[in-house]
Structure 1
Amino acid sequence: MKVSLKILIVALALLGLNACKEQEIQKEDKIQTKKEVTAKDILGNPEYLAISYGGYKDDTRDARLQPTLREIKEDLRILHAIGIRVLRTYNVHFPHASNILAAIRQLSAEDPDFEMYVMLGAWIDCKNAWTDLAPDHEVESEQNEGEIARVVALANAYPDIVKVVAVGNEAMVKWAASYYVQPRVILKWVEYLQKLKAEGKLPAALWITSSDDFASWGGGDKEYHTEDLKKLVEAVDFISMHTYPYHNSHYNPEFWRVPEAEENASETEKIDAAMVRATAFAKAQYQAVSDYVKSLGFNKPVHIGETGWASVSNGHYGPEGSRATDEYKQALYYKQIRNWTNAEGISCFFFEAFNEPWKDAANKMGSENHFGLFTVDGIAKYALWDAVDQGVFQGLTRNGNPIEKTFGGNRDSLMQGVLIPPSQNEKAAAH
């Protein structure tokens, strides 16, 4: 009996030891798997949902108000809970991007199941951008060289996290009058980064692109169809294009207005049909870019670097404008665009994760402050009400607040602010 008991104890101890070893092996396997993931694996993969992320909660990006590591980790846990695995950032001249990378590394070390990657943005400007002097769109800013150097340093410091570098954000589109540059400037820096890859000075699997308006990638006006753009298409690893039916509801509203054939439809039917047309508008701009790239003889992947829908506006898109703005329409667009891009193998960096009040600090009700799927306090907008019901945010908070629904979860209250798009005969929307 005593011998048998000893044998039993030894056997149980060995089983426990083997179980611990097995857990450690599984943990190491997960870490190893994460290290092997590349941009090619991520982009176009519906298991790696993408989003634009900024963690700023105040009406300024002042150095004293940069999001802390703790705050960023809190945000990333929330995003991870809804399936987000790829973040897009926009610049590295603030510490925010480097703090995001540090936060991801810490979260991954704390939890082997935590997985997240980054498309790291380098902000590019023309000479005199954001100054009292007239922007010189033929000459680039002296700041660009330092921005690229910082991106290179971060890509090398976090090769397990940084999978894409985007040179410039809407830096070539001519309506960005404060700072746009000529395509040759973006081409210069893309080729520079590709050269560093070839020399082993950047990870070989790192993908390089520029994230810009659909027109800048040749999908619109032919004035953009230049030799430098052709060279840029050839130089990048993929195309990252932006499309905004939301803004076009004001600037190119024909698709948005209720057609005569729908005048007798119900209010909800008119709104739902408008959102189907909005998604079709985005698809058409995507197709226009894809067709142009192919017309140049290139077979480059095309992904959506930005698209989104604001939930508040007191300007062009609000009650006195196109009436495009509310949480109901935002939710429809979010779900439709996700369904389409996931089905077609297109990555979509939805804009954006959380509201950021600094973007239009002088106008709290300005649409630029309200593109988030969450409010500044972490309240989930209508697009994510289902996720709240499913309990995916259990135990998670932002600013100390649990993740709850806007409007107290009352759909009737939400729908009271939802307006029908103007009819074809209306010149301007009325309240």
Structure 2
Amino acid sequence: MKNYLKSLVTLLVILMVVSCGKNSKKEEQSENNENQMTTSKELTAADILGNPKYLAMSYGGYRYPDHDIEPTIDELKEDMKILSSMGIGIVRTYKVHLPQAANLLQAITELKEEDENFEMYVMLGIWIDCKNAWTDQEPDHTVESEANKPQVEEAVRLANKYPDIVNVMAVGNEAMVHWAATYFVQPSVILKWVNYLQDLKKSGELPKDMWITSSDDFSSWGGGGAEYHTEDLEKLYHAVDYVSMHTYPYHNTHYNPEFWIIEDDEKLTEIEKIDAAMLRARDFAKKQYDSVAGYMKSIGVNKPIHIGETGWATVSDGFYGDEGSRATDEYKEGRYYQLMRDWTNKEGISCFYFEAFNEPWKDSKNPMGSENHFGLMTVDGIAKYAIWNYVDNGTFEGLSRGGNPITKSFEGDMEALMKTVSVPPTTE
């Protein structure tokens, strides 16, 4: 009997140890599963927009004056690696009917498969035109182009194919502003397609966390003249998930130069005059942002406002060069870029800075045209002054563009750079 009891006790102890071990393994496995779910959870637009850990950038990968030459998957992956190294977490595209949009999403997917820690999200742009846009016929701004519907359908297809990457959709790019005389539409057209996409979210045909907006000039969002203050614009405010507005002090150095022209104060050095002008440029952008916020408040709407575009060119033989407003050079671009990042990061505003790389197709007949030179980096991978610090810090170590290592413009010679910098015009 004693031996029996002794054996029974030993058996019970063994069972308890085994049981505890199983429970411990279950708890460990459960904890691992929870951790895996946490780390693999894809972020939504609400998580990213306004989050300085995910800087925003406008992106076009076209490297040649001929816009028909599409960037390859490898070239797109090359660009995404460069931007990711700079802390860019979301890029904005513009047209879905061209191969770049789909290829970019495929490139990001491949990068994520190659590196589980790689992250990049996309604000997918849907181009919107009026009837007869970009033709020899008179544009009809009251009727939309038949090409709009296929654009929307393709955007929906891509958003559903890549739900882990696409978390924002923008209906139109500067599609309502009246100075876009070649193609602008009435707000009713944008409203129609925004509502269409919102209905797809409700029916489960688009991810429910997708944010829908339209990306347009500050004036189109009610921050300008009263001619934009329409009933359809108010309805659009209620329909979008957030407002994506554009502001360009750079262009306004020519068109509205009051903030730019300086009084010739002999007490200030030339660099002090330039730095003061760049502060005024930043404040000009703030003023346009505030004008949109003010209009939104006046119609009883409370939505996030983010900057869909702003930027500063580094070359111009036109309005903005030495014969014009003298706004154009790398030093001013660098100051503007840093001032805008500092302000928007502090205030929780996403700023899709325009743009990552020069795109020579934009004014292909004039290589010195400012539209070709808004990039923070040249086509050949030369980092402009705005991002010299990344080169200095080794951020681009091992990265290249078109086979070229990332190096500094002017070979990093600040004195040589400053010889290209002009003081803004004076009141005289």
- TM over 0.5, yes or no? yes
How big is the shift at 1:265?
1.2
| Partner residue, 2:12 | none
**Gap change, CA 1:264 and 1:168, over 3 Å in 2:** same
Contact kept in structure 2, 1:35 and 1:160, CA below 8 Å: no
Select the residue among 59, 63, 79 that pairs with 1:57.
Answer: 63
Select the residue among 76, 79, 84 that pairs with 1:80.
Answer: 84
- The answer to whether 1:307 aligns with 2:313 is no
| Partner residue, 2:22 | none
| Partner residue, 1:233 | 237
How big is the shift at 1:356?
0.1
How big is the shift at 1:308?
0.2
Select the residue among 334, 338, 341 that pairs with 1:338.
Answer: 341
| Partner residue, 2:332 | 329
Write the distance in 2 (CA, Å) between the matches of 1:33 and 1:87: 22
Listed as ranges, the matches of 1:270-281 within 5 Å are 270-281=273-284
Select the residue among 92, 99, 119 that pairs with 2:96.
Answer: 92
Listed as ranges, the matches of 1:1-400 within 5 Å are 33-62=39-68, 65-260=69-264, 262-400=265-403
SS for the counterpart of 1:150 is: helix
How big is the shift at 1:34?
5.0
Higher-Rg structure is 2
Q: Which runs of 5+ in 2 are unaligned?
A: 1-24
**Gap change, CA 1:165 and 1:159, over 3 Å in 2:** same
Write the distance in 1 (CA, Å) between the matches of 2:351 and 2:66: 27
Contact kept in structure 2, 1:34 and 1:160, CA below 8 Å: no
**Gap change, CA 1:151 and 1:31, over 3 Å in 2:** farther
Write the distance in 1 (CA, Å) between the matches of 2:117 and 2:338: 26
Write the distance in 1 (CA, Å) between the matches of 2:93 and 2:35: 29
TM (norm. structure 1) is: 0.91
**Gap change, CA 1:294 and 1:74, over 3 Å in 2:** same
1:150-173 Cα offsets, whole Å, 9 max, x none, are: 000001001100000000000000
**Gap change, CA 1:145 and 1:57, over 3 Å in 2:** same
Write the distance in 1 (CA, Å) between the matches of 2:143 and 2:110: 40
**Number of aligned residues:** 401
Write the distance in 2 (CA, Å) between the matches of 1:244 and 1:279: 10
1:52-101 Cα offsets, whole Å, 9 max, x none, are: 01110001221xx2100000000100001110000000010101011111
How big is the shift at 1:263?
4.4
Write the distance in 1 (CA, Å) between the matches of 2:186 and 2:273: 41
Write the distance in 1 (CA, Å) between the matches of 2:36 and 2:59: 25
Identify the range of structure 1 (302-311 vs 264-273) with the bigger mean alpha-carbon deviation: 264-273
- RMSD, aligned α-carbons: 1.6
How big is the shift at 1:259?
2.4
Write the distance in 1 (CA, Å) between the matches of 2:293 and 2:123: 21
Contact kept in structure 2, 1:30 and 1:112, CA below 8 Å: no
Write the distance in 2 (CA, Å) between the matches of 1:35 and 1:415: 47
How big is the shift at 1:293?
0.7
Write the distance in 1 (CA, Å) between the matches of 2:278 and 2:350: 20
Identify the range of structure 1 (268-277 vs 34-43) with the bigger mean alpha-carbon deviation: 34-43
Write the distance in 2 (CA, Å) between the matches of 1:385 and 1:211: 30
1:217-266 Cα offsets, whole Å, 9 max, x none, are: 00011110000000000000000000000000000000001125x34411
Write the distance in 1 (CA, Å) between the matches of 2:167 and 2:91: 10
| Partner residue, 1:3 | none
Amino acid at match of 2:179: W
SS for the counterpart of 2:222 is: helix
Q: Which runs of 5+ in 1 are unaligned?
A: 1-17, 426-431
**Gap change, CA 1:31 and 1:248, over 3 Å in 2:** farther
Contact kept in structure 2, 1:380 and 1:406, CA below 8 Å: yes
Write the distance in 2 (CA, Å) between the matches of 1:340 and 1:222: 28
1:267-287 Cα offsets, whole Å, 9 max, x none, are: 001100000000000000000
| Partner residue, 1:11 | none
How big is the shift at 1:294?
1.1
Contact kept in structure 2, 1:51 and 1:86, CA below 8 Å: yes
Amino acid at match of 2:258: E
| Partner residue, 1:15 | none
Contact kept in structure 2, 1:137 and 1:179, CA below 8 Å: yes
